[in-house]
Amino acid sequence: MKSTVQSYLEGVELGVMQLHTALTEVQSLQQEISEAQDIWRRSEGLLASLQTIRNVVSEHVQLSVVIQSLPYIYTVPEVISQTQGLIENQQILEAHVHLRDLESLRDDVLYRLQRVRTLEDPKFCSSDDTQCNEDPAELVLEFFSGVHSLSEELGRVLFSLANSAVSLACSNPSLLVSAVRIIEREELLDAEEEILSPQQPWKPPGRPKHWRDRFFQALERGVCDRLIGSGLLKEDITPAGLSTHFKDLQNRVLEELQAVCSVLAPCVPPHYEICQVVALMCHHAISRHVREILSWDLSHPALYHVLHWSVIVYPSVDVMGYADFAPDIDAPELGTLLTPEMLEEQLNRYTRNVRTCLAQWIQKALEVEYADWFREQVPDKGPDGMYLSSLQQHIMQMLAENVQLASVLGESLESRVRNASLLEMDNCLVWLREALVKYGIEHMKDRTRPTFFIPYLLAIINGCTALSSSISYLQPEDNIISIIRKPAPCLQISLDKTQKKACHLLLDEVQSELQPHFLQITTRSWLSGSDTMHRICETVEQFTQHFTMARAPVCQFLLAQTERMLVIEYVKALLNSKLVCKSSEDRQHMAERMTSDAKELSSALKRMGLEESTLCVPLILSIQKIFALKDPSLLSLEVSGLMTSFPDISDDHVLALMEVRGDVSRDLRHTVLNMMQHQVLTLPKDYRPIFMSIPAPAPAPPFCLHPSSCA
């Protein structure tokens, strides 16, 4: 421990001695600095008195620089003049050599002056010293100002040559090669300057020149001027004018690129990739031109010409995909003329224009068609000799042509136009149904007008039948693309509605002709054996001749609906009859009369083309059994059989029949109704309700002595 403490004390003693020594040295250094400051303060006036000598030294250095450069400086005006003459004579290589000599001389003088200025201390220049305030560099730049003008003039000549590089390469390729050599030299000097500039603060005036970039800019201006020229006037934006314009543009593009690949490419360095660069210049110029045309108000045929040329013709082998360009020009790398967003916008615009045009054309065609319905002339007939309206086919043809045109530009536009055509065709059919309603109303006002009411209805029906075979083109089964947000309608359903509307007008006409005859049924004259049913059959058979002018399957539909209408009107007349059988003889006559009518109707229906009546005759014969029944107590059994054959018959219908029979007591009525309530029947799947279309007469109100007693 004693040894450790002693060692520690010795170390402390050594440290104290070193600190004492350091303190002594610091105090000595402070004293010396103070003495140096005193000497500097005493000599400040002496240094200021040396400023004159300093200025003389600076002037001497400047004069020495001038004297060294004086032989060359004397020749500067003469060299500038010579260089100007060389530029005017397009001796550009010699002119560039002189220009470089002048620029080197100017830069050397400026550099030497810059070195002198860096050695000077500006604090010794007083503010009133004019010699110190004058900038020699400005004098040099002013003296060499013609050099900068020469450089600009030579650049303008080079860029004018670049502007017409293609034609120059054909007529004077050596001049173009010289221009490119000069540009490459200047680019090399710019690159050297960029490398040296971080190390030296001084920079030669006019650098970097970027002549290569300006060369390509001038080349692009020339390409654009040759391709687009004065552009396209708005007066020439018709489809024919656009077709001619794009054909000329196509020829100019081919000529330009062929000349570039064959003539211009050998005149420039390979790293310029001049063929691809010029192709890109052409692409940008044409793209701007097409966008300008699209900004105008174009009709949809004109818009189609622009889109077709831009999307189909331009990238094809007829323009950019030309086979001879393949080694030098990568057409896919150029991209498309229109961006995807702009193409989408133009496709939507074209679809809107097409739909507007279709709507206007269809509206005019429908108006003409509606006016034709009132003509004093039968409608046209098809090759099969049947009446035929060509309206639907003309409209369908126009829609199909628009879809076909759109398909050339791709599935997207085809789907858009197909959906637009689908909606317009549906609107056409809606309007056609509305026109048929108006047509029927006008006919009801005066049944003699229009003269050819029925033939034109048949023409419309046949036109719809012909159209049904071609609507699948607009609405194929696998069409699941819906570009338009509105759900696409089903054309077949709309077409069936239109056709059935015309059919119902025909059947209404038949019904109107038969209505006076059906009013004679269940009258005493009918019961006594009038020829009412014979006249009904004759009228129906006359109309059947018109029905045969309707194409299948509409003809069969009209015949079936006629049979249905006959039985409905017959039963309705029977139910609403005021004739009540007062005796068994009346009921027997009623049954015999109905049997005779059923047979006559059956024969007429066979002559109309219905082989066997499945509705009219069976229903009349089933009702006939109710009147032929001699024992009213068996009425429940007959009604049960009637319900089995026609399960949609109601209580009111049965009550009306029992009312006409005339001998059914109140208790028996209740018995029959109770039986009907307990006999629950379901309608078969293939059963077409008939009694639902026959309104039952309202039951007679109960007998009252005075209206007040019923209150």
CA distance 298 to 357: 13
Which of the four pLDDT bands, split at 50, 70 and 90, describes residue 671? very high
136-150, 319-333, 360-374: the lowest-pLDDT one = 136-150
Q: Across the chain, what does the average pLDDT equal?
A: 84
Q: What is the mean pLDDT of residues 10-20?
A: 87
4-21 residues labelled b (16+ CB within 10 A) or e (exposed): eeeeeeeeeeeeeeeeee
Q: Which residues contact 685 (CB under 8 A, 6 or more apart)?
A: none
Same domain, 72 and 194: yes
Same domain, 191 and 284: no
Q: What is the mean pLDDT of residues 273-302?
A: 91
C-beta of residue 452 within 8 angstroms of C-beta of residue 375? yes
| Partner residues linked to 381 by β-bridges | 387
162: in domain: yes
Cα 562 to the chain's mean position, in Å?
49
> 4 pLDDT exceeds 90?
no
Total structural domains in the chain?
A: 4
Which of the four pLDDT bands, split at 50, 70 and 90, describes residue 705? very low
Neighbours of 655 (CB within 10 A): 18
3-state SS of the chain: helix, strand, coil percent to 5? Answer: 75, 0, 25
Q: Which residues contact 125 (CB under 8 A, 6 or more apart)?
A: 51, 132, 133
Angle at 160 between CA 157 and CA 164, to 5 degrees: 140
Q: What is the mean pLDDT of residues 424-433?
A: 91
Q: What are 508-559's pLDDT values in tens digits?
A: 999 999 999 998 888 888 888 888 999 999 999 998 888 888 888 899 899 9
> 132 pLDDT exceeds 50?
no
> 127 pLDDT exceeds 60?
no
Nearest to 153 by CA among 89, 107, 202, 221: 89
427: in domain: yes
> 476 pLDDT exceeds 70?
no
Nearest to 356 by CA among 308, 297, 311, 412: 297
Domain end among 289, 307, 338? 338
CA distance 544 to 608: 6
Same domain, 334 and 479: no
Neighbours of 76 (CB within 10 A): 18
Among 60-69, 381-390, 623-632, name the most confident range.
Answer: 623-632
3-state secondary structure of 551: coil
Nearest to 59 by CA among 123, 120, 128: 120
Percent of the chain with pLDDT over 90: 34
Residue 451: which CATH number?
Answer: 1.10.357.50
> 229 pLDDT exceeds 80?
no
134: in domain: no
> 126 pLDDT exceeds 50?
no
CA distance 137 to 150: 19
Which of the four pLDDT bands, split at 50, 70 and 90, describes residue 219? very high
CA distance 587 to 528: 12
Q: What is the mean pLDDT of residues 109-135?
A: 53
Q: Which position has the higher pLDDT, 128 or 91?
A: 91
ω before 332 within 30° of 0 (cis)?
A: no
| Partner residues linked to 492 by β-bridges | none
Cα 95 to the chain's mean position, in Å?
58
Write out the two tokens for 55: 């200025």
Q: What are 101-119's pLDDT values in tens digits?
A: 888 778 777 777 766 555 4
Same domain, 394 and 309: no
| Residue 129, pLDDT score | 45
Residue 650: which CATH number?
Answer: 1.10.357.70
- DSSP H helices, 229-273, are 239-259
Same domain, 356 and 484: yes
Residue 75 has φ and ψ, to the nearest 5°, of -90, -5
| Partner residues linked to 387 by β-bridges | 381
Same domain, 689 and 591: yes
609: in domain: yes
Which of the four pLDDT bands, split at 50, 70 and 90, describes residue 62? low
64-73, 586-595, 676-685: the lowest-pLDDT one = 64-73
Which of the four pLDDT bands, split at 50, 70 and 90, describes residue 199? low
Q: Which residues contact 79 (CB under 8 A, 6 or more apart)?
A: 98, 101, 102
The 8-class DSSP code of residue 264 comes to I
Domain that holds residue 569: 519-707
C-beta of residue 511 within 8 angstroms of C-beta of residue 420? no
Same domain, 483 and 435: yes
30-44, 417-431, 651-665: the lowest-pLDDT one = 30-44
Same domain, 254 and 304: yes
C-beta of residue 437 within 8 angstroms of C-beta of residue 409? no
| Residue 115, pLDDT score | 64
Which of the four pLDDT bands, split at 50, 70 and 90, describes residue 687? confident
Same domain, 395 and 536: no
Same domain, 614 and 537: yes
SS3 labels along 116-183: HHHHCCHHHCCCCCHHHHCCHHHHHHHHCHHHHHHHHHHHHHHHHHHHCHHHHHHHCHHHHHHHHHHH
Which of the four pLDDT bands, split at 50, 70 and 90, describes residue 124? very low
Residue 297 has φ and ψ, to the nearest 5°, of -85, 95
CA distance 564 to 570: 10
Q: What is the mean pLDDT of residues 377-402?
A: 87
CA atoms within 13 A on the CB side of 120: 23
Cα 583 to the chain's mean position, in Å?
80
513: in domain: no
Q: Which position has the higher pLDDT, 168 or 112?
A: 168
Q: What are 630-645's pLDDT values in tens digits?
A: 888 889 999 999 998 8
> 710 pLDDT exceeds 70?
no
The one-letter code for the residue type at 456 is Y
> 121 pLDDT exceeds 50?
no
pTM > 0.75: no
Q: What is the mean pLDDT of residues 338-356?
A: 93
Domain end among 441, 475, 501? 501
Same domain, 694 and 573: yes
Domain end among 338, 356, 385? 338
Same domain, 405 and 298: no
Which of the four pLDDT bands, split at 50, 70 and 90, describes residue 485? very low
Which of the four pLDDT bands, split at 50, 70 and 90, describes residue 60? confident
154-163, 258-267, 332-341, 469-478: the lowest-pLDDT one = 469-478
| Residue 354, pLDDT score | 93
Write out the two tokens for 105: 């001389």
Q: Which parts of 411-469 are beta strand (E)?
A: none
ω before 450 within 30° of 0 (cis)?
A: yes
